[in-house]
Amino acid sequence: MAATPAVARRRPGRSRVAARRVTASEHFTGWGFVTPGVAIILLFGAVPIVWSAVMSFQRSDLLHPSTPFVGLRNYREMVHDPVVTQAIMHTLVYTVLFVPGTMVVGLFLAVAMNRKIRLLWLYRTAAYATMAISTISEALVFIWLFDPSYGIVNYFLSLLGIPQQPFLNSPSEALYVIVIMTIWGWTGFAVVIYLAALQGVPQTLIEAAAIDGAGPWRTFRKVTLPLLSPASLFLAVWLTINALQLFDEVYLSTMGGPLNATTVLVFYLYEQAFSQFNFGYASAIAYFLFIVILVVTAIQFRVGRRFTYYRS
Amino acid sequence: MTATTMVRPRRWARLPFSPWHLVLLPATLVLIFPFAWLLITSVQTLSEALHFPPILTPHTLRFANYSDAWHSAPFGRFFVNSSVVAVTTVLCNLVLCSLAGYAFARFRFLGRGVLFVTIMATLMVPFQVTMIPQFIITKWLGVHVLAGVGIDHIGALILPNAATAFGVFFLRQFFRTLPIEYEESARVDGASRLTVLWRIVLPLSMPALATLAALTFLDSWNSFLWPLIVITSTNQMTLPLGLATFQGAHSTQWTLLMAGNVMSLIPMLVIFFVAQRYFVRSVAATGLAGT
């Protein structure tokens, strides 16, 4: 990179950075620094965004060599596709169960672990370990735990007098098994976020509440929980974005079945794109998903802001 | 760590240990149980594994499950591929995102604003929107430019992630918090931009670089959908894809599957525990940044 003289002429009355005259070689240096990284991000990030938008208005499949523009046909087709309706429902049900479930488990464990007690390292390590395991490993273990014939979960249920359940083989149970396995997989993440936030809760406020006569539960609800609200909002948004993009566990455990009972949006999109090679239709589904994520996230921030308490 | 200060109700005073153990111990058992059952099944004989009610303590330990799994799928190869992909991706990100992040933080050049906004826009878009064009671009690159970054090569798992919008943004934000005086005085002393970045800025940015490295590593190591789309040959597969394929081929041989699963998750567990502090701090940092 060419070196440029640092102390160039300065115009009076402006900040030093803004006042420096930008020389040609500085433009050159700037572009030299950003080009390798930016080229990759543009090629694999920005260009595909535009490209798939265009594709969503095209007929693009293996049957036809040409890809004519078909207007909104792909989007209209989605409205009439019963599997899309099912996939939306399953994605929503999954998200509505998974997000609060993970947050409650994470909050509960983090609050319990936020104190100096023996075996704390063991408790924390056990929670963190779920972060190290890949979604595929996680799904594989849970398929075995919930095996209809030999799974140990059925054994535990039998101890309670509950008959054997088909779990992942049952259209009415499969999605809930996936909810359970993903909550387990995200527990470590939620615990880390809440533990970090709990470090920021000033001890003095807790003590003041206790002196004012508030019991532990009331202190938690009226002092700790509001102070954790930024972390809760972050988790809600982050987990929702991930929940709407559920794929790995479905692919490994049920392939969308039985009877489409676990077909979620991304799984259907994947099937359309890479089993049927309906790139146009799949792009339309992808853009629909994108808009859903944008809208949901925007709503969460709007609603969340009302309940979120920022100290600074 | 904050000390316990919630006022304890009197009735717990008789317990010789904190009452929180009463909830934490069962909760931890539930969290650990999948790991434990995974380990137990991996050393059972198939007939004992396929027994109902399940046999909680195996009568004979069959470690041969591990060698059987090792011989029926190239787990060593998967591990090498995963490692090469993850390490290369991390190194590329550190270099490319540092360069770009630094330029966006400190330089003024034509088109800076437009470029930066464009990059930020890609941050919001989910991978599913871009994956089909990415697939087509990767295919084209493999045919017309370099086979090593095309379909069915691990290079295709590295190149699209070699620089990320998140990395550029994250490092730019961090660089902007550093005092500019050091950099300016080094420039006065005649140091080049690159020298300033390498000698002054990056040494001050170790926490941010470590965070980016840990997050990128986790992402790359656990990635599944993109490898599933671009890789078909067994010898190019990463661990998650290899394990999923292995499961497809041996779907009823649970002892074999669990042995394979243990082998594929041990490396990450070891890395995670050795660098637990870094990973936990990095994940916590994403949360704190969001709040």
Kindly list the averaged pLDDT for each block of 10 residues, start to end, along chain B of length 291. 49 73 92 93 90 85 91 92 97 97 93 93 92 95 92 96 95 92 92 93 93 91 95 95 92 91 90 84 73 44
* Measured torsion, CA atoms of residues B262, A165, A99, B271, in degrees rounded to the nearest 10: -10
Give residue A311's pLDDT: 63
The string of pLDDT tens digits covering residues A173-198 is: 999 999 999 999 999 999 999 999 99
- Predicted confidence band of residue A24 (pLDDT cuts 50, 70, 90): confident
Q: Are the beta carbons of B168 and A41 separated by less than 8 Å?
A: yes
Indicate the burial class of A55 (C-beta count within 10 angstroms; 0-12, 13-18, 19 or more): buried
Q: Is the CB of B121 inside 8 Å of chain A's CB atoms?
A: yes
Flag whether B248 is in a domain.
no
Q: Is the CB of B216 inside 8 Å of chain A's CB atoms?
A: no
In B60-176, which ranges are continuous DSSP H helix? Answer: 64-72, 75-106, 112-124, 127-144, 155-158, 165-176
In angstroms, what is the C-alpha Rg of chain B? 25
Q: Indicate the domain borders of chain A.
A: 16-55, 74-307
pTM listed for this prediction: 0.89
Q: Are B135 and A277 in contact (CB under 8 A)?
A: no
Give residue B1's pLDDT: 42
Supply A115's token pair. Answer: 């104190």
CA separation for the pair A157, A140 (Å, rounded): 21
Q: What proportion of chain A, given as a percentage, has pLDDT over 70?
A: 93
Q: Which CATH architecture has domain A74-307?
A: Orthogonal Bundle (1.10)
- Predicted confidence band of residue A20 (pLDDT cuts 50, 70, 90): low
Instruction: Give A243's Cβ-side CA count (13 Å radius).
Output: 32
Supply A278's token pair. Answer: 């309906």
Supply A290's token pair. Answer: 């994108």
* Residues present in chain A in total: 312
Q: Are the beta carbons of B129 and A142 separated by less than 8 Å?
A: no
Helix, coil or strand: residue B61 = coil
- Count of domains in chain B? 1
Q: Which residues of B touch A203 (CB under 8 A)?
A: 2-3, 5
CA separation for the pair B84, B99 (Å, rounded): 22
Give residue A2's pLDDT: 41
| Number of C-beta neighbours around residue B36 at 10 A | 11
Flag whether B121 is in a domain.
yes
Q: Are the beta carbons of B291 and A230 separated by less than 8 Å?
A: yes
Q: Are B218 and B268 in contact (CB under 8 A)?
A: no
Q: What proportion of chain A, given as a percentage, has pLDDT over 90?
A: 66
Q: Domain span at residue B193? A: 76-238
CATH code at position B111: 1.10.3720.10
Mean pLDDT confidence for A20-29:
81
| Number of C-beta neighbours around residue B248 at 10 A | 10
* Measured torsion, CA atoms of residues A224, A229, A230, A234, in degrees rounded to the nearest 10: 130
CA separation for the pair B128, A109 (Å, rounded): 33
Residue A267 has pLDDT above 90, yes or no: yes
SS (H, E, C) A229-284: HHHHHHHHHHHHHHHHCCCHHHHHHCCCCCCCCCCCHHHHHHHHHHCCCCHHHHHH
The string of pLDDT tens digits covering residues A217-249 is: 899 998 899 999 989 999 999 999 999 999 999
Q: Which of A130, A136, A180 to mutate to test the interface with B (most CBs of B within 10 A)?
A: A136
Flag whether B170 is in a domain.
yes
Closest alpha carbon within chain B to A24 = B109
Closest alpha carbon within chain A to B56 = A152
The string of pLDDT tens digits covering residues A124-146 is: 989 999 988 999 999 999 999 99
Q: Which residue, chain included where needed, has tokens 């090569």? A: B153
Flag whether B157 is in a domain.
yes
Mean pLDDT confidence for A115-120:
88
Mean pLDDT confidence for A163-169:
92
